[in-house]
Amino acid sequence: MPTQFLQFRVGALIHTVGAGVMCLSMGPLLAQSPATQIVKPPNMQLWMDVSTSTQHITPARIVDVALWNSKKPGVPATQQIPPGMHMGERLELLPIKPQAATSGGESGQSSASGQEPPKGRLLLYWGCSATVPAGQPRIIDFSTGASVNAQAFATAFAGRQLAERGAPMKPGYAVFPNEREQKSLPKDGSLVGEHRVLGEGIDESFKFSLSAAQDVMPAIDLHSKGALTGSIALSWTSVTNARGYFLHAMASRGDDIILWSSSDSSDAGMGLFEYLPNAAIERWVKDHTLLAPDVTQCAIAKGILGNKGGMLRMIAYGGEHHFAYPARPANARVAWEPEWAVRVRLKSHTMTMLGDDPRAPKPAPTKDRAILPPDPTILMRDPTNLLRGLLGG
Q: Is residue 227 domain-resident?
A: yes
CA 126 to chain centre: 19
Res 145: pLDDT: 61
Q: Residues 234-281: pLDDT tens digits?
A: 999 999 999 999 999 998 888 888 999 999 987 767 778 899 999 999
Q: Is residue 179 domain-resident?
A: yes
Domain tally for the chain?
1
Q: Is residue 114 domain-resident?
A: no
Res 215: pLDDT: 97
261: β partners:
126, 248
Q: Residues 74-91: pLDDT tens digits?
A: 999 999 999 999 999 999
Q: Single out the residue of 328, 89, 79 nearest to residue 208, CA to CA.
A: 79
d(CA 143, CA 118): 6
Q: Residues 100-116: pLDDT tens digits?
A: 444 444 444 444 445 56
213 pLDDT higher than 80: yes
Give Cβ neighbours of residue 64 (< 8 Å, ≥ 6 apart). 47, 48, 49, 50, 51, 175, 176, 177
Q: Is the pTM of this model over 0.85?
A: no
> Residue 7 is which amino acid?
Q
Dihedral angle at the C-alpha atoms of 170, 173, 179, 181, nearest 10 degrees? -150
44-81 exposure pattern, b = at least 16 Cβ within 10 A, e = fewer: bbbbbbbbbbbeeeebbbebbbbbbbeeeeebebbbeb
Q: Is residue 340 domain-resident?
A: yes
List C-alpha distances in Å: 321 to 22, 87, 187, 382: 19, 22, 22, 26
Q: Which domain holds residue 151?
A: 3-96+120-391
Tell me what the mean pLDDT of segment 192-203 comes to: 96
Res 345: pLDDT: 96
User: How many residues does this entry show for the chain?
Assistant: 393
Q: Which residue has the higher pLDDT, 366 or 29?
A: 29
Half-sphere exposure of 82 toward its Cβ, with a 13 Å CA cutoff? 16
DSSP reduced 3-state for 77: strand
* Local confidence band at 327 (pLDDT 50, 70, 90 cut-offs): very high
d(CA 240, CA 31): 27
Res 11: pLDDT: 37
Q: Is residue 149 domain-resident?
A: yes
With beta carbons less than 8 A apart as the criterion, state whether 209 and 321 touch: no
Strand ranges in the chain using DSSP code E only, listed in sequence order: 44-53, 60-69, 77-80, 90-95, 121-126, 138-141, 173-176, 193-199, 207-210, 222-225, 232-236, 244-253, 256-261, 297-300, 310-325, 340-354
Q: Is residue 112 domain-resident?
A: no
DSSP reduced 3-state for 310: strand
For the chain, the farthest-separated pair of C-alpha atoms sits apart, in whole angstroms, at 74
Give Cβ neighbours of residue 18 (< 8 Å, ≥ 6 apart). none
Tell me what the mean pLDDT of segment 366-391 comes to: 36
Q: Is residue 129 domain-resident?
A: yes
Res 16: pLDDT: 34
d(CA 247, CA 33): 34
Q: Mean pLDDT in the chain?
A: 78
Q: Single out the residue of 89, 7, 18 nearest to residue 270, CA to CA.
A: 18
Res 223: pLDDT: 93
* Of the candidate ranges 7-21, 41-55, 166-180, 277-291, the one whose mean pLDDT is the lowest: 7-21
Q: Which residue has the higher pLDDT, 31 or 72?
A: 72
385 pLDDT higher than 50: no
Q: Is residue 111 domain-resident?
A: no
* Local confidence band at 368 (pLDDT 50, 70, 90 cut-offs): very low
* Local confidence band at 6 (pLDDT 50, 70, 90 cut-offs): very low
Res 140: pLDDT: 84
Strand ranges in 54-102 using DSSP code E only, listed in sequence order: 60-69, 77-80, 90-95
d(CA 343, CA 319): 10
